[in-house]
Amino acid sequence: MIKSAMQNLTKSNDNELEFCDNIDLSISIESIYESASEIGEHFKKLIQLFGAETFEILIPCIVRVLENLENVTVQRDNCLKLLEKLNKQIYDLQQDHQKRKNEQLKFQLEIEDIDELWRKENGKLEQYIKYLENENNRLSSIKNDDNLSRSLMNLKPEKEINIEKSAIFHKNEIHNNTVQLDKLRTKIKILKNEIELKNEENVDLRKKLNNLDMENKNIRKIISSLLDNIICLNHGETSNNNENDVKWKEKIAILEEKLLIYKQQFESEHNDLIEIAIEKLQPSESDRIKMEDLPVQGPIPKEPDEKLFWSPRNNQNRNRIWSFFPKLSLNKLIK
C-alpha cells in the first residue's frame, strides 16, 4: 500500500514539474518595461503629429493593461519560487521516507534473525530439559528403591563407599543441572521480552510512515491548488489577486505548522533522524524588482493645461510604467 502511494506521488510530482516547465517565462518585468518604453515613444511621435486630445482616453487604457500584465508577472514569479521551495521539501520528505523504509526492512530482517535464533535455542533447551528430567527421575528412582537399600547391606565396605560417592556425585549433578535450567529459563524470558519490544517498535515505525504519507498527500494538494491559481493568473484573472494571496498565505502557514510538529515529534523520539528546515514562505518586498524611475524627455504640450509628470496612481511600481508615456492633465482625463 505504501509502495503504491509513493509511486502515485512520484507520478503526480513529475506531471506538475512538466507543467511548470511548460509555463511561458519569456515575459519578464524588464520586457514589460521595454515594451512600455517603445509604446511611449510611439505615442510621443503621434502626439506631436495629431495632438494630445486624440490619445487622452487610449493612453490610460494601455497603461492599465501593462500594469495588470506587470502584476500577473510578479505573482507568477512568486508562485514559481514558492513551488520550487515546496518541491525541494517534497524531495527531502521522499528521501527521508526511503531512508525510513530501508531502516524498517533492516529492522525486520534483524527481528527475523533473532526469532530464528530464539527458536533454535528454545528447541535445544527443551531437549536439554527433557534430558535433565529423565535423569532426575532415574536418580530419584535409584535413591528411593528399596531393593537398592537391601542390596547395600550385603555389599562389602569398598563397594558401599563407591556407591555413596556415586550417589553424592549424581546429587550434585542434579543440583547443577537444576541451577543451569533456571538460568536458561530466565534467558528465554529475556529473549521473549526483547522480541515483544522489537515488535512494538516495528508497529510504531509503521504508524510514523503512514503519517509521513498523509503529510506528503497534503503537500501535493496545496501544490495542485497553487498550480490552479497560476493557470488563472495566466488567463488574465487578476481581479481576485488579494484574496488568492490571503488563501496562499493561510495554506502556507498550515503547511509550516504541520511540518514543524512533524519535525519536533521525530526529533524527540529518534535523535538520528534528519532535521526538516522550514522557512516562512511569505513573499517579501525584496523579491520585487526595483528600478529607478527613468526621466522622460518628451515634447512640450500644445495645450497650456497639460502637465508632463502627472500620474493618476500613487503606487511606485505602477508609476514606472506611467513614466514611459506622455502625461496628460487630470482635468482632461476626468472629462
* Residue (of 217, 314, 289) closest to 258 by Cα position: 217
Q: Which domain, by its residues, includes 193?
A: 2-334
pLDDT truncated to tens, each residue of the chain (335 aa)?
444 544 555 555 555 555 555 666 678 889 888 988 999 899 888 888 888 887 888 888 889 999 999 999 999 999 999 999 999 999 999 999 999 999 999 998 989 889 888 888 888 888 888 888 888 888 877 777 655 555 555 554 566 667 777 778 877 888 888 888 888 888 888 988 888 888 888 788 888 878 887 877 787 788 777 777 767 766 654 555 556 666 766 777 787 777 777 666 766 665 665 554 445 444 444 444 443 444 444 444 444 333 333 333 344 444 677 777 776 543 343 33
Determine contact, residues 220/108, Cβ cutoff 8 Å.
no
d(Cα 68, Cα 237) in Å, to the nearest integer?
A: 10
| Angle between the N-to-C axes of helices 58-143 and 241-269, in degrees from 0 to 180, rounded to the nearest 10 | 20
Torsion, Cα of 108, 113, 114, 116 (10° steps): 120
| Domains held by the chain: number | 1
Q: Would you state the cell numbers that stand for residue 18, as one nine-digit string?
A: 512538466
pTM of the model: 0.37
Torsion sign across C-alpha atoms 32, 79, 238, 319: negative
Within 8 A by CB and 6+ apart from 78, the residues are 283, 287
The label of the residue with cell 518595461 reads 33
CA neighbours closer than 13 Å in the CB half-sphere of residue 93 = 29
Within 8 A by CB and 6+ apart from 178, the residues are 132
The label of the residue with cell 512600455 reads 36
d(Cα 227, Cα 9) in Å, to the nearest integer?
A: 16
